[in-house]
Amino acid sequence: MKSLRILSGIAGVLVSLLSPQLIACDEWCGHFVAGVDVGYESRSGHINLNLANTAGTVTGAKSQKLADSGTIYGLLGGYQLWYKNWFGGLEGHVDFNRYENARRFVTQLTALGTLNSEAQHIQHNRYGVTARLGLNVPPFFMPYIKGGAEYSKNTINVAVVGVDQFAYNKNHWAWIVGLGVEVPFFSEKTSLRLEYNYKQSSRFTWTDSLDTLRGTHTYKPHVHQAKFAWTWNFI
């Protein structure tokens, strides 16, 4: 009986925190929203190197997978509209991360044999805009889908030890699709979100003509991301 009373007490606390204080409008209504988030993401892609010397006598090709993962944190803000139990809105966000590592591998070059190589993809602060569409599902769940785009500065460093090294810089866009669930926390003014996002970048293509090597190279990364956010509704 004592354990049952403890469980009942815990359930009561959870119900009071996640109380059904959902916003609902018989007609259109709206409000601003702001928040902070933390998360974890995994990024991977294949960098394809096609190398040749200026005389064309030394050639090589290499497809190498680059993979990184780590924590992120960020800010969000936007405007949300309600109509009956449906909601939707437009939000902007900025994400910060610094988990990139250099990946070592070997490159086979004709006449020079196997050489140690290294590649690194550095993605700077990311700025995005996304749209959300969701539904109030009683007693207090708000599932939603989202989509948008994200902009960032990218640096790709590649080195073939003893032969060549170069860096490629570009401001780049990526597409975002995701889904999540939001629940009120204490009141309708604050809420918690848990969401998953998938990001696909368009292909990076660049030409290297530095030092002793030249060639055309490509790289196309994609990202899996999980986020937890706390938001404030200005109502």
Residue 137 is predicted with a pLDDT of 87
Residue 5 is predicted with a pLDDT of 62
Residue 24 is predicted with a pLDDT of 61
* Cis geometry, peptide bond prior to residue 184 (ω within 30 degrees of 0): no
CB 171 within 8 A of CB 156: no
Above 80 in pLDDT, residue 203? Answer: yes
Query: How far, in whole angstroms, is CA 87 from its chain's centroid?
Result: 23
Above 60 in pLDDT, residue 81? Answer: yes
Quick one: tokens of 173?
Answer: 């866009």
Q: Using DSSP, state whether 13 is helix, strand or coil.
A: helix
Q: What is the pTM of this model?
A: 0.82
| Interval 134-166: pLDDT, tens | 998 877 789 999 999 999 999 888 888 777 778
Q: Using DSSP, state whether 57 is helix, strand or coil.
A: coil
Residue 114 exposed, middle or buried by CB count within 10 Å (0-12, 13-18, 19+): exposed
CB 184 within 8 A of CB 21: yes
pLDDT bucket at 176, cuts 50 / 70 / 90: very high
Cα 168 from Cα 89, distance rounded (Å) = 36
pLDDT average, residue stretch 1-21: 53
pLDDT bucket at 199, cuts 50 / 70 / 90: very high
| Interval 17-37: pLDDT, tens | 554 455 666 778 889 999 999
Using alpha carbons only, give the angle 164, 166, 170 rounded to the nearest 5 degrees.
160
| Interval 33-76: pLDDT, tens | 999 999 999 999 988 888 777 666 667 778 888 888 999 999 99
- Better-scored residue on pLDDT, 41 or 14: 41
Residue 107 is predicted with a pLDDT of 78
* 103 half-sphere exposure, CB direction, 13 A CA radius: 20
Residue 6 is predicted with a pLDDT of 57
